[in-house]
Structures are given as C-alpha cells and as structure tokens.
Amino acid sequence: MRAEAALGNRSRWRELVKNAPFGCLGQPHEVADLVAFLVSKRASYVSGAVIPVDAGRLARNKAS
C-alpha cells in the first residue's frame, strides 16, 4: 500500500488523500459514467482518444 510505503503505516492513507485533486478520491460511478457515454451512440465520433480520469491531475502536472 502507498500509505505504508510513504508514511510507514497503512492506516494513515487519509493523509495521502488530502493531496488528491478536489481533496477526495474518485468514485467508481464517476468512471462508469464516462464508460457509459463512450459505449453509447452519442460517442460515435470519438475514436482513438485517451481520456484521463484523474480530476485534472495530468493537466496540472503539465502546467508546472
């Protein structure tokens, strides 16, 4: 576990979450909503796209 490696105690995982975008972890339904869109006819023009589901972390890292 990351908390154990970074902080020496796996029960301290909440300390890692405070650095997450929006201060919380993503939920499965948030990823499922994107998947549902991508398999729908509404996404028929989407092809070969890489869509990060990371609350903008990738964009913030590129800006730094």
How far is the C-alpha of 54 from the C-alpha of 60, rounded, in Å?
Answer: 10
**Torsion-angle region of residue 48: left (phi > 0), alpha (psi -120 to 50) or beta?**
left
pLDDT at 10: 87
Asked if residue 57 has pLDDT above 90, the reply is no
pTM: 0.59
Q: What is the pLDDT of residues 14-24, one digit of tens each?
A: 888 877 778 77
